[in-house]
Structure 1
């Protein structure tokens, strides 16, 4: 869903950008005389449209209302792009007797602290994303170079993620691991 939304945003912005570029290019070309000197000297809006705008009392309020609606749509779009799909609470169980939920942030922080204690790991960051009843895990790990990445990934796969999944009582917890290798402290021998 997120991929389709991102693709739609890119396509929408590209089309809007191309339309605005074409309109701006035509306006500049007209002003520079590409369509003749007479067109360059004439106003962009003809006399009939200027007369209509001047004599119709509802014209400018409608233009203002349309501008406000377009602005609100743009603001809503921007806020939708800034919204992060992090669940505040995880739904662990729901039934006829009630619903069991837990805060998502402390659970992911506990996992990050656990991973930070692994050898060669400088720091770790974990975030639960997606819907509250079917989350997925995003783990960022900074490890010192030369780290045994195979052992680190195996430990994440065999220990950290299953521990969190078991703690939360989830049947499945898809995880994405992002590894960042950082230069370790280099020591120089003193003679």
Structure 2
């Protein structure tokens, strides 16, 4: 979910909850209810007996209410997991040897690793994403290969050169990688 959409939705939901919650609290503490308020005082109930029993004989009412509430709960849980889940490592802890350590931006290492993987012989395009923890990162590499290239050779060069350089420069003991290879497709051309 894009950050701007997430922030706007969070802001709107927060303002609505603040307005409704503040109004309920103010009326409950004895403040006069505003003119638009649905209840008339602190002792008014949310649903009166007549409102609760109004749809009692309708067989479709309660299943629909429960289904709508279940969908709202599932959407809220999906939104929460989308907000809390981190897809990328923001920084990597580099051991400098003096006990202090240094921080390397994750996107910087992704960019360098992607550029080096993209420069390999027969690689048309490379995309790298770092996952895991900052002291134990892992990489996901997607390569688009030219049709004439041997995938084993590209994988061996990627492992020894690009991933080896990244592992060495960041001072990591290991940099596990999940590599996905895909061959580029070209349209057939007529030869006259």
- Pairwise TM-score range, normalised by the shorter structure: 0.5 to 0.7
CA distance in 2, matches of 1:132, 1:126: 16
The equivalent residue for 2:125 is 123
Gaps spanning 5+ residues in structure 2: where? 1-47, 54-67
Map 1:54-73 → 2, pairs under 5 A: none
Q: Kindly state the Cα deviation for residue 53 of structure 1 after the two structures are TM-superposed.
A: 4.1
Q: Distance in 1 between matches of 2:73 and 2:89?
A: 26
1:108-187 matches, cutoff 5 A: 108-184=110-186
Distance of 2:51 and 2:191 partners within structure 1: 86
CA–CA distance in structure 2, aligned partners of residues 96 and 174 of structure 1? 25
1:65-117 alpha-carbon deviations (Å, 9 max, x no partner): xx99x957852542314633311011113899534111010111111111111
For residues 14-53 of structure 1, the aligned pairs below 5 Å read 50-51=49-50, 53=52
Cα offsets for 1:2-61 (capped at 9, x unmatched): xxxxxxxxxxxxxxxxxxxxxxxxxxxxxxxxxxxxxxxxxxxxxxx955948xxxxxxx
Matched, 1:103 2:117: no
TM-score by length of 2: 0.57
Whether contact under 8 Å (2:143, 2:179) holds in the other structure is: yes
Corresponding position of 1:80 = 81
| Structure 1 alignment gaps of length 5 or more | 1-48, 55-66
* Contact 2:131–2:137 (8 Å) recurs in 1: yes
Q: CA RMSD in A?
A: 3.5
Alignment size in residue pairs: 131
